[in-house]
């Protein structure tokens, strides 16, 4: 958990903006005749009128709630208009809502750093804009106070017989007020303006919380809805937080909150104040203890990230009750659908934003029949993401198989007849994460090796000769290949799993609808009346534990890395003229300790070793394997293009290099393949027909 920086955070101006009954507003904009009418959006599944996923404020007055089914809603509000969420590929198609969210974000991001927190939520850091406004109006912002701002709810204001509006006006004027609150008042004005702009340009209303940090802003944005805003002056923080139930706090909706309740008897934030920082640290560890101590006092140093685009893409579907999937073929059918959607979104992200995703993750929820352990969670599985629908489909299915083997607890999972099934899948989702912009105009591969070179004390810069005729490695045109001329080696079967440091995600959301339930969702919100399980799992990124799997087509890659290839020439060559490492002139030296050598180097090391052991022999200076030119001349070089690079090696390169190489993989390649098709590396990277 982030440890707060109390000093710097007080004078910041942070807003959390939340769209009001978002899906309903989007539907009402599409069909203006629905405006003013009690309306709800229902999932496409028509059982009992479909599950309500968004309820408009007019319908809420009748007691209609999100958890209800359409039929139930009609009973208590006969005139309710039920609109179906759009459907594509047999599942909810959320693109219309996603696009509407992007429209709003483009407006909200005009005044400061903007972080897209979910499909309909945004954080803004308005500190600079507020400081500028305050500097320009040192004698107060009276002339700026507009009607919308005067409707703000300012927490802790004493009305003292005055009407609320006059009180708020007085607060905005506070000439002798606290500087931090003057900044907040400016922030409130800016947010009021932004909300009006959103309304004018998109017809959507939104609500906002304005405070000194993200935590307080988020806690207050929903306090007064719809179309209102709430401000938390510095002096009101304590009073505001004290009575709040502990589980309302971000990250306390789950186990930690429960532990505070049961083990420390803490039920409100105020209760937490009696514990010293040391007490909390003793019980929950240094960081968590400090974090708890801080949040109880309204201190949160979390930055607003400048991010307008989603952090991940996901596509999921639930299969409640009798719809549960009980055969591998039905799972495959649905995975194919989900992967197709995911692939399309990845492709458009690539085209529009020049971003690529690195990790593919499969989540599932399941139950076992006739098994007392049936509550066991289906493990989430990840692997490096390969672009192309077919590849994503293949890899997702493999991840599913791996998860299922673990879930069932046997190695060979066979498809069983529907009468004999042992398991049932109630939810499936595929997601793509670790999305990064494709860097352009960098020579990062060269830089990387240059740096690594410096890390080996006994290597001299002059030992390498790099030529970089082209300005950049990034692939900007067809056929731009990064060629890795590596020692050739056949892969051997072996281990394919590599563990990450992450924790296993839960299948169910953290409670209380905190940010956890919304960040990074971007379209993966399930529209069945199931818990928001999959996309919310992703929210728990801090505590995720997933296994990163290599796709089965990569079986043996790890052992290959450790194996001793028989050739010894290494070159980087960009097709045409680009970057090359002229192996004929290089003398490479590596640490003798394999364990301490980064594996990309180990890979090359093994190439060297292969030669050195047979041709040169080890040196005794701590680095061995100088490649004599005679050896290099004698070796046969195998040409590897970027689409043949071992992903294990690739995954261990710095992200910017990975991005470059992956970017080159995404380009149609015109040059004939000169590699063995049977190789599993080749199989892994070769474009499939319909990719």
Residues classed as catalytic: 121
In eight-state DSSP terms, residue 483 is: E
Cβ-count burial 110-122 (b if 16+ within 10 Å, e if not): ebbbbbbbbbbbb
Q: For ligand DCP, which stretch binds (CB under 6 A), given 145-153, 455-463, 525-533, 644-652?
A: 525-533
State the nearest-atom distance from the C-beta of 14 to ligand DCP, in Å: 19
Q: Find the binder of ligand DCP among 120, 148, 519, 643 (CB under 6 A).
A: 120
Q: Please answer whether residues 118 and 520 qualify as being in contact, where contact means their C-beta atoms are separated by less than 8 angstroms.
A: yes
Q: Please answer whether residues 485 and 639 qualify as being in contact, where contact means their C-beta atoms are separated by less than 8 angstroms.
A: yes
Q: Which is nearer to ligand DCP, 90 or 576 (CB)?
A: 90
Q: Report residue 97 CA to chain centroid gap.
A: 19
Q: Find the binder of ligand DCP among 14, 22, 313, 549 (CB under 6 A).
A: 22
State the nearest-atom distance from the C-beta of 305 to ligand DCP, in Å: 20
Q: Find the binder of ligand DCP among 4, 18, 91, 570 (CB under 6 A).
A: 18
Q: For ligand DCP, which stretch binds (CB under 6 A), given 13-21, 27-35, 384-392, 569-577?
A: 13-21
- Both tokens of 630, joined, read 């005679």
Residues 6+ apart with CB under 8 A from 649: 561, 599, 600, 603
Q: Which is nearer to ligand DCP, 505 or 523 (CB)?
A: 523
State the nearest-atom distance from the C-beta of 226 to ligand DCP, in Å: 6
- Both tokens of 326, joined, read 């009980």
State the nearest-atom distance from the C-beta of 53 to ligand DCP, in Å: 4
Cβ-count burial 444-468 (b if 16+ within 10 Å, e if not): bbbeebeebbeebeebeeeebebeb
Work out whether 317 is an interface residue with ligand DCP (CB under 6 A): no
State the nearest-atom distance from the C-beta of 149 to ligand DCP, in Å: 21
Give the per-residue contact string, 526-555, with ligand DCP (x = CB under 6 A; - = no).
-x----x-----------------------
Work out whether 117 is an interface residue with ligand DCP (CB under 6 A): no
Q: Which is nearer to ligand DCP, 115 or 120 (CB)?
A: 120
Instruction: Report which residue's Cβ sits closest to ligand DCP.
Output: 54
Q: For residues 125 and 439, what is the distance between their CA atoms, to the nearest angstrom?
A: 26
Q: For residues 676 and 678, what is the distance between their CA atoms, to the nearest angstrom?
A: 5
Give the per-residue contact string, 182-221, with ligand DCP (x = CB under 6 A; - = no).
----------------------------------------
Q: For ligand DCP, which stretch binds (CB under 6 A), given 19-27, 425-433, 435-443, 663-671?
A: 19-27
Count of residues of this chain found to bind ligand DCP when the rule CB under 6 A is applied: 15
Virtual torsion, Cα 631, 636, 639, 645, nearest 10 deg: -70
Q: For residues 538 and 216, what is the distance between their CA atoms, to the nearest angstrom?
A: 23
Q: Which is nearer to ligand DCP, 363 or 525 (CB)?
A: 525
Q: For residues 273 and 243, what is the distance between their CA atoms, to the nearest angstrom?
A: 11
State the nearest-atom distance from the C-beta of 230 to ligand DCP, in Å: 14
Q: For ligand DCP, which stretch binds (CB under 6 A), given 18-26, 103-111, 416-424, 461-469?
A: 18-26
Q: For ligand DCP, which stretch binds (CB under 6 A), given 479-487, 495-503, 524-532, 661-669?
A: 524-532
Q: Which is nearer to ligand DCP, 517 or 611 (CB)?
A: 517
Work out whether 474 is an interface residue with ligand DCP (CB under 6 A): no
Work out whether 20 is an interface residue with ligand DCP (CB under 6 A): yes
* Angle value at C-alpha 449, between 446 and 455, nearest 5 degrees: 145
Q: Please answer whether residues 57 and 226 qualify as being in contact, where contact means their C-beta atoms are separated by less than 8 angstroms.
A: yes
Q: Report residue 687 CA to chain centroid gap.
A: 26
Q: Round to the nearest angstrom and report the end-to-end CA distance of the chain.
A: 40
* Angle value at C-alpha 411, between 409 and 412, nearest 5 degrees: 120
Q: Which is nearer to ligand DCP, 57 or 448 (CB)?
A: 57
Of 350-409, which residues contact ligand DCP (CB under 6 A)?
none
Of 432-451, which residues contact ligand DCP (CB under 6 A)?
none
State the nearest-atom distance from the C-beta of 319 to ligand DCP, in Å: 16
Q: Which is nearer to ligand DCP, 515 or 646 (CB)?
A: 515
Q: Which is nearer to ligand DCP, 103 or 422 (CB)?
A: 103
State the nearest-atom distance from the C-beta of 225 to ligand DCP, in Å: 5
DSSP-assigned letters across all residues of 97-144: HHHHHHHHHHHHTTSSEEEEEETTEEEEE-HHHHHHHHHH-TT--GGG
- Both tokens of 540, joined, read 């728990």
State the nearest-atom distance from the C-beta of 675 to ligand DCP, in Å: 46
To the nearest 10 degrees (0 to 180), the angle between helices 179-202 and 127-136 is: 110
Q: Which is nearer to ligand DCP, 224 or 401 (CB)?
A: 224
Work out whether 23 is an interface residue with ligand DCP (CB under 6 A): yes
Q: For residues 603 and 642, what is the distance between their CA atoms, to the nearest angstrom?
A: 16
Closest C-alpha to 363, from 402, 326, 391: 402
Q: Please answer whether residues 611 and 627 qualify as being in contact, where contact means their C-beta atoms are separated by less than 8 angstroms.
A: yes
State the nearest-atom distance from the C-beta of 44 to ligand DCP, in Å: 12
Q: For ligand DCP, which stretch binds (CB under 6 A), given 3-11, 12-20, 70-78, 132-140?
A: 12-20
- Both tokens of 387, joined, read 């672009």
- Both tokens of 595, joined, read 């364990």
Q: Find the binder of ligand DCP among 1, 21, 299, 659 (CB under 6 A).
A: 21
Continuous H helices in 570-654:
599-611, 629-634, 647-651
Closest C-alpha to 10, from 179, 202, 219, 208: 179
Of 654-673, which residues contact ligand DCP (CB under 6 A)?
none
Give the per-residue contact string, 29-58, with ligand DCP (x = CB under 6 A; - = no).
------------------------xx----
**E-state strands within 487-528:** 497-499
Q: Which is nearer to ligand DCP, 528 or 646 (CB)?
A: 528
Q: Which is nearer to ligand DCP, 480 or 527 (CB)?
A: 527
State the nearest-atom distance from the C-beta of 133 to ligand DCP, in Å: 28
Q: Please answer whether residues 37 and 65 qualify as being in contact, where contact means their C-beta atoms are separated by less than 8 angstroms.
A: no
Q: For residues 142 and 664, what is the distance between their CA atoms, to the nearest angstrom?
A: 57
State the nearest-atom distance from the C-beta of 223 to ligand DCP, in Å: 11
Q: Please answer whether residues 51 and 73 qualify as being in contact, where contact means their C-beta atoms are separated by less than 8 angstroms.
A: no
Q: Find the binder of ligand DCP among 525, 538, 569, 605 (CB under 6 A).
A: 525
Give the per-residue contact string, 130-169, with ligand DCP (x = CB under 6 A; - = no).
----------------------------------------
Give the per-residue contact string, 216-235, with ligand DCP (x = CB under 6 A; - = no).
---------xx---------
In eight-state DSSP terms, residue 5 is: -
What's the Cα-to-Cα distance from 590 to each of 137, 459, 596, 605, rounded to whole Å? 64, 8, 11, 7
Interface residues toward ligand DCP, by CB under 6 A? 18-23, 53-54, 119-120, 225-226, 525, 527, 532
């Amino acid at each position: 958990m982030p440890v707060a920086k109390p000093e710097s955070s007080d004078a910041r101006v942070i807003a959390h903006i939340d769209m009001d009954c978002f899906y309903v507003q989007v539907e009402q904009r599409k069909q203006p005749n629905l405006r003013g009418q009690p309306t709800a959006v229902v999932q496409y599944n028509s059982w009992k009128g479909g599950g309500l996923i968004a309820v408009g404020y007019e319908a809420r007055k009748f007691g209609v709630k999100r958890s209800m089914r359409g039929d139930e809603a009609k009973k208590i509000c006969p005139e309710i208009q039920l609109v179906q969420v759009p459907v594509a590929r047999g599942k909810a198609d959320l693109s219309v809502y996603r696009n509407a969210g992007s429209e709003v974000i483009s407006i909200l991001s005009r005044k400061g750093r903007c972080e897209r927190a979910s499909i309909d939520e945004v954080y803004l850091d308005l500190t600079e804009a507020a400081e500028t406004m305050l500097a320009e109006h040192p004698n107060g912002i009276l002339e700026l106070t507009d009607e919308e701002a005067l409707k703000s709810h300012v927490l802790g204001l004493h009305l003292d017989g005055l009407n609320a509006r006059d009180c708020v006006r007085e607060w905005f004027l506070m000439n002798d007020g606290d500087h931090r609150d003057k900044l907040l008042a400016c922030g409130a004005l800016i947010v009021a303006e932004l909300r009006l702009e959103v309304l004018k340009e998109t017809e959507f209303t939104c609500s906002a919380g304005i405070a000194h940090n993200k935590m307080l802003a988020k806690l207050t944005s929903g306090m007064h809805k719809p179309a209102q805003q709430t401000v938390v002056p510095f002096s009101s923080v304590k009073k505001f937080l004290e009575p709040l139930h502990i589980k309302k706090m971000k990250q306390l909706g789950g186990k930690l909150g429960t532990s505070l309740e049961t083990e420390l008897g803490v039920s409100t934030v105020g209760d937490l104040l009696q514990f010293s920082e040391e007490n909390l640290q003793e019980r929950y560890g240094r960081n968590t203890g400090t974090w708890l101590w801080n949040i109880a006092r309204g201190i949160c140093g979390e930055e607003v990230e400048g991010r307008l685009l989603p952090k991940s893409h996901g596509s999921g579907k639930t299969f409640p009750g009798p719809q549960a999937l009980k055969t591998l073929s039905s799972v495959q059918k649905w995975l194919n659908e989900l992967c197709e959607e995911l692939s399309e979104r990845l492709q458009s992200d690539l085209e529009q934003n020049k971003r690529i995703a690195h990790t593919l993750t499969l989540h599932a929820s399941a139950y076992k029949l006739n098994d007392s352990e049936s509550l066991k969670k289906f493990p989430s599985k990840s692997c490096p993401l390969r672009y192309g629908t077919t590849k994503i489909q293949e890899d997702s299915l493999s991840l599913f198989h791996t998860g299922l083997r673990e879930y069932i607890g046997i190695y060979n999972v066979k498809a069983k007849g529907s009468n004999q099934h042992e398991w049932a899948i109630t939810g499936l989702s595929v997601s793509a994460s670790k999305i990064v912009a494709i860097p352009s105009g960098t020579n990062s591969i060269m830089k990387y090796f240059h740096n690594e070179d410096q890390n080996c004390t006994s290597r001299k810069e002059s030992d390498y000769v790099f030529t970089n005729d082209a300005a950049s490695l990034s692939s900007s045109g067809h056929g731009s290949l990064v060629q890795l001329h590596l020692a050739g080696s056949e892969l051997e079967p072996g281990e394919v799993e590599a563990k990450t440091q992450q924790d296993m995600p839960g299948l169910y959301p953290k409670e209380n609808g905190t940010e956890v339930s919304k960040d990074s969702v971007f379209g993966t919100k399930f529209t069945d009346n199931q818990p928001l399980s999959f996309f919310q799992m992703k929210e728990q990124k801090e505590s995720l534990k997933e296994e990163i799997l290599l796709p089965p087509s990569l079986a043996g890659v790890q052992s290959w890395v450790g194996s001793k290839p028989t050739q010894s020439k290494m070159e980087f060559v960009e097709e045409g003229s680009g970057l090359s490492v002229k192996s004929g002139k290089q003398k490479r030296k590596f640490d003798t300790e394999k364990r301490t050598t980064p594996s990309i180097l180990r890979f090359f090391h093994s190439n060297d070793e292969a030669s050195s052991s047979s041709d040169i022999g080890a040196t005794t200076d701590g680095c061995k394997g100088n490649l004599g030119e005679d050896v290099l001349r004698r070796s046969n070089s195998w040409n590897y293009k970027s689409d043949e690079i071992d992903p294990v090696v690739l995954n261990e390169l710095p992200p910017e290099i990975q991005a470059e190489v992956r970017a080159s993989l995404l380009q149609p390649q015109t040059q004939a393949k000169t590699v063995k098709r049977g190789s599993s590396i080749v199989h892994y990277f070769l474009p499939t027909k319909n990719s």
